[in-house]
Amino acid sequence: MDRDRFEAIVAAYGADSRRWPAGEREAALRFVAGDDDLADARALDALLALAPSPPPPSDLLVARVLREAARSRQSNLAPAIALAACMVMGVIVGFGVGLRAPSGEDVDWMLTAAFEAPDSDWIEGEL
Amino acid sequence: MSDPDADLVRRVGAGDSGAAETLVRKHLTRIHALAQRMLGDRAEAEDVAQEVFFRAWREAPKWVPGRAKFETWMHRVALNLCYDRLRRRRETTDPDAGIAMPDPAPGADEMWHAQQRSQRVQSALAALPERQRAAIALCHFEEMSQADAAASLNLSVDALESLLARGRRTLRASLADMKETGRGHG
């Protein structure tokens, strides 16, 4: 820390050492020999203290922001809900198709009808 | 990088309504104050603060800790929204609008006098270039740390100090007559 750096800190952050960089505060304070060192900066700080304070956020704003947070949570959950719904529907449809599927005996009959030679009685009857 | 809000943001991202409310209680006032100091208009400041939090809700589920502090990210979003609004104002209105100095003639009433002085300071701040005003809002009024203010402005700390020094120099010049008046009254 030298005198130039001290002056640069005061020029940037003003006279109140609370606003000075924490890592340089202690060293900078050693350069404060008298009130004249900070007089101009202190005068400007005093003027800035006259600036009106911003009003606090309204209750309506707080409510709007929190309502949007809830809406955002729902929209974030929507894809997961849709996926879960698809999985449930898949299980239901699969189970339903399973109930309507042919039994083992039915399959045997169908295979017989498709690939085996017709009975001789049936052939004679036809002739 | 250590972020005091990291756990809070993770919980917000996971859908914790209590965490969302805590984040609002913790940061809404400062974000709103910053927007108010940048824009000088309460309704616009509320719009900006609302948009910052809307974006925060969308960002939280995908936020990667360690890249930046969530608070500085929110301040940066707020400043960018303010810059956009100020740019639109410049395009549609008289560039001198809103920074006209009120009549500095002294009044008999002390309250009127105090209001005039307050208005003068506000006007001098409003007349600063945007980034100087933002730097002073963050460091002087919000008392944010140098590192966080620089990150919010997307600047190095050296560049932040340069902005602050130029801003304060301009303010000192534009309020020089008040200083004399203040001493005379003080």
Q: What CATH number is associated with residue B30?
A: 1.10.1740.10
Which sign does the torsion angle of CA B8, B12, B18, B22 carry?
A: positive
Q: How confident is the model at residue A84 (pLDDT cuts 50, 70, 90)?
A: low
DSSP string, B71-104: HHHHHHHHHHHHHHHHHHHHHHS-TTTT-PPPP-
On whether the CB atoms of residues B31 and B49 are closer than 8 A, the answer is: yes
Q: Are residues B85 and B134 in the same domain?
A: no
Best probe of the B interface among A10, A42, A62, A74, by most B CBs < 10 A, is A62
- Section A91-102 average pLDDT: 67
Q: Is the pLDDT of residue A70 over 60?
A: yes
Q: Is the pLDDT of residue B44 over 60?
A: yes
Q: Per mean pLDDT, which range of A2-6, A108-112, B114-118 is the poorest?
A: A108-112
Give A65's contacts in chain B (Cβ within 8 Å).
Answer: 24, 28, 49-50, 53-54
Interval B155-173: pLDDT, tens: 999 999 999 999 999 999 9
Tell me how close the Cα of B15 comes to any Cα of chain A, in angstroms: 5
Asked which of B64, B93, B122 is the last residue of a domain, the reply is: B93
- Section A97-108 average pLDDT: 67
Give A50's contacts in chain B (Cβ within 8 Å).
Answer: 114, 117-118, 121
Q: Are residues B2 and B89 in the same domain?
A: yes
- Residues B121, A57: C-beta atoms closer than 8 Å: no
- Section B102-110 average pLDDT: 58
Q: Are residues B111 and B181 in the same domain?
A: yes
Q: Are residues B3 and B79 in the same domain?
A: yes
A&B contacts, CB < 8 Å: 117
Q: Are residues B88 and B105 in the same domain?
A: no
What is the structure's pLDDT at A81? 59
ipTM here: 0.82
What is the structure's pLDDT at A76? 62
Q: Is the pLDDT of residue A122 over 60?
A: no
Question: In sequence order, which ranges of chain B are alpha helices (DSSP H)?
Answer: 6-13, 17-39, 42-59, 70-92, 110-126, 130-136, 146-153, 157-174, 176-185
Q: Is the pLDDT of residue B100 over 60?
A: no
Interval A11-42: pLDDT, tens: 999 999 999 999 999 999 999 877 677 999 99
Interval B56-95: pLDDT, tens: 999 999 999 888 999 999 999 999 999 999 999 888 865 5
Give A4's contacts in chain B (Cβ within 8 Å).
Answer: none
Q: What is the mean pLDDT of chain A?
A: 80
Q: How confident is the model at residue A103 (pLDDT cuts 50, 70, 90)?
A: low
How far from the centroid of its chain's Cα atoms is residue B13's Cα? 26
Max mean pLDDT among A81-85, B61-65, B136-140 falls in B136-140
Q: How confident is the model at residue B137 (pLDDT cuts 50, 70, 90)?
A: very high
**Chain A residues contacting B via beta carbons under 8 Å:** 8, 11-14, 18-19, 21-22, 40-41, 43-48, 50-58, 61-62, 64-66, 68-70, 72-73, 76-77
CA distance A29 to B147: 20
Q: What CATH number is associated with residue B166?
A: 1.10.10.10
The fraction of chain A above a pLDDT of 90, given in percent, is 46
User: Which residue segment(s) compose the domain that B121 sits in?
Assistant: 100-186
Asked which of B93, B112, B136 is the last residue of a domain, the reply is: B93
Give B160's contacts in chain A (Cβ within 8 Å).
Answer: 12
Q: Are residues B165 and B141 in the same domain?
A: yes
Q: Are residues B15 and B30 in the same domain?
A: yes
What is the structure's pLDDT at A95? 64
Q: Are residues B151 and B79 in the same domain?
A: no
CA distance A23 to A57: 33
Q: What is the mean pLDDT of chain B?
A: 89
CA distance B89 to B99: 13
What is the structure's pLDDT at A119? 59
Q: Are residues B79 and B2 in the same domain?
A: yes
What is the structure's pLDDT at A40? 92
What is the structure's pLDDT at B185? 43
Instruction: Reduce the DSSP state of residue B47 to 3 states and report it.
Output: helix
Domain count, chain B: 2
